Amino acid sequence: MSASEKELQEFRAEVAAWMRDNNPADPGFLLPQTFMEVGDERQLEFLREWQHKVWAAGYLGMAWPKEYGGGGVDAVFQSIADQEMRRHGVPICFNVIGLGWAGPLINDIGTEQEKARYLKGILNAEDVWCQGFSEPEHGSDLGNAQTRAVRDGDEYIINGQKIWTTMGNFAKYMILLARTNQDAPRKYDGLSYFLSPMQVPGIETRPIRKITGEFGFTETFFTDARIPADCLMGEEGQGWKIAMQTLQYERGAEAGAAGGQAMVRVTVDDMIKQLEGVKRDGESVLRDPVVRDQLVQAIMEEKAMILGDRRAHIGALTTDYPGSLPLSNKLRVTEMTRRMRQLAINLQGAQGALYVGDDEARQGGFWQRAYFNSFSATIGGGTSQVQANIVAEHILGLPK
């Protein structure tokens, strides 16, 4: 039976009170704005503790099965909890590769043994997950991945290299795409999918420094690393199909995700607020007619995105191009996010050139750091160009 309006309202009030009472104080060091920015142990432990607390309070994984650490209730409760997390500006739930991709995948197609082994640790943040898809020569061209997995008795021996492994240095498990058959007639058929442990001899990670000077991802090297054969998900040769299912989650199919915020959300309204006091030609920048035009444009785009998301959930309103909204969602959201942060800096005038650590930087350089980091999401999970191809070919039916 679905929840009554009154029940939902009461639940919202309960979550709001909890978030108010438990929103942690500023730790005195920079916190990641997205899960792709967890760069050191201090940040990791802070976020691990926060996610554990949210889960223990019952506000994470609410729609996942109870026997695996979830709440076993309707997904509408999770969506209310997520809204309240956003509204109260609490920290992110950082274990996103587990919560949003590996977890839903295991819930959907995993065996009972896999569910029992992995799901609870994802929710309570004990087990950090990472993703080993991209390789130095094979990012967009993922189907050509060359990391090899060779069966040897009860084990697979892994050799090769992955790159851009978000949280690779902290992870206990990796969703790993590796080639088990070099001679398959189609390159895709030679790939297999593993739920691989990371802490085994022969797996080494090296953090990569980003444009912000911070860390967040690694190179990951496999040298005769032996992992148990039961880490194989599905059958040998099904890796491509399972990887594509994973990318559906990664690119914004929210159904099945455990919930929690993956990134600090800011709105055009937040951007306007940070401009108070900024002058252009002796007057508030907010009175400049060109700036006002730019802001209205940003507000319209933001509104369209919100309404588009709502519309995507109403089948009868998407009959013209079914699937168009979810499929184009990643492209729209990530590009809009990047443009908005760029505008925020432009409108700061000369102060826009300052960065974190400069006393004069507006909001401690929040927008500058957010701008540099906003490129991450336009690349990770498929670049904007590749997303545009997907929209062109799969929605509009244009030729390749």
Q: Work out whether 140 is an interface residue with ligand FAD (CB under 6 A).
A: yes
* Residue 334 makes contact with ligand FAD by CB under 6 A: no
Structure tokens at 346: 């432009």
Question: Residue 245 interacts with ligand FAD (CB under 6 A)?
Answer: no
131 in contact with ligand FAD (CB under 6 A): yes
Residue from 184, 379, 391, 395 touching ligand FAD (CB under 6 A): that is 379
Least distance (Å) from ligand FAD to the CB of residue 175?
Answer: 9
Q: Is 166 in the site for ligand FAD (CB under 6 A)?
A: yes
Q: How far is the CB of 37 from ligand FAD (least distance, A)?
A: 8
Cβ 330 to ligand FAD shortest distance, Å: 12
Residue 100 makes contact with ligand FAD by CB under 6 A: no
Q: Give the interface segment with ligand FAD, choosing from 22-30, 126-134, 144-152, 264-272 (CB under 6 A).
A: 126-134
DSSP string, 74-142: -HHHHHHHHHHHHHTTPPP---HIIIIIIHHHHHHH--HHHHHHHHHHHHTTSS-EEEE--BTTBSTTG
Q: Are 180 and 191 in contact (CB under 8 A)?
A: yes
Helix, strand, coil distribution of the chain in percent, nearest 5: 50, 15, 35
How far is residue 386's CA from residue 388's CA, in Å, rounded to a whole number?
5
Site membership for ligand FAD, residue 247 (CB under 6 A): no
Question: What is the number of other CB atoms lying within 10 angstroms of the CB of residue 256?
Answer: 18
Known catalytic residue at 250: yes
Binding residues with ligand FAD: total (CB under 6 A): 21
Candidates 37, 84, 250, 254; catalytic one: 250
The residue count for the chain: 400
Residues in 215-244 at the binding interface with ligand FAD, rule: CB under 6 A? 217
Asked if 160 is part of the footprint of ligand FAD (rule: CB under 6 A), the reply reads no
Cα distance between residue 256 and residue 233, in whole Å: 18
Neighbours of 364 (CB within 10 A): 15
Tell me the C-alpha distance between 44 and 92, whole Å.
Answer: 11
Asked if 274 and 367 touch (Cβ cutoff 8 Å), the reply is yes
305 binds ligand FAD (CB under 6 A): no
**C-beta closer to ligand FAD: residue 36 or 158:** 36
Residue 53 vs 221, nearer CB to ligand FAD: 221
By CB under 6 A, residue 383 contacts ligand FAD: yes
Q: Is 118 in the site for ligand FAD (CB under 6 A)?
A: no
Question: Interface residues for ligand FAD in 9-68 (CB under 6 A)?
Answer: 36
In the complex, the smallest distance separating the C-beta of residue 241 from ligand FAD, rounded to whole angstroms, is 17
Chain residue whose CB lies nearest ligand FAD: 139
Closest distance to ligand FAD from the beta carbon of 15 (Å): 30
CB 160 within 8 A of CB 135: yes
| Minimum gap (Å) between residue 134 Cβ and ligand FAD | 3
Residue 380 interacts with ligand FAD (CB under 6 A)?
yes
Does 374 help bind ligand FAD (rule: CB under 6 A)?
Answer: no
**How many Å apart are CA 220 and CA 134, to the nearest integer?**
10
Shortest Å, Cβ 380 to ligand FAD: 4
Read out DSSP for 261-305? -SB----HHHHHHHTTT-EETTEEGGG-HHHHHHHHHHHHHHHHH
Query: In whole angstroms, what is the distance from residue 59 CA to residue 82 CA?
Result: 8
**Residue 165 or residue 192: which is nearer to ligand FAD going by CB?**
165
Residue 3, SS3 per DSSP = coil
Considering the rule CB under 6 A, would residue 193 count as an interface residue with ligand FAD?
no
390 belongs to the binding site for ligand FAD (CB under 6 A): no
Contact (CB, 8 A) for 197 and 172: yes
DSSP letter string, 12-81: HHHHHHHHHHHPPPP-SSPPPSBGGG--SHHHHHHHHHHHHHHHHTT-SSTTS-GGGTS--S-HHHHHHH
Indicate which residues carry an active-site annotation.
250
Binding residues (CB under 6 A) for ligand FAD: these are 36, 130-134, 139-140, 164-166, 217, 376, 379-383, 385-386, 389
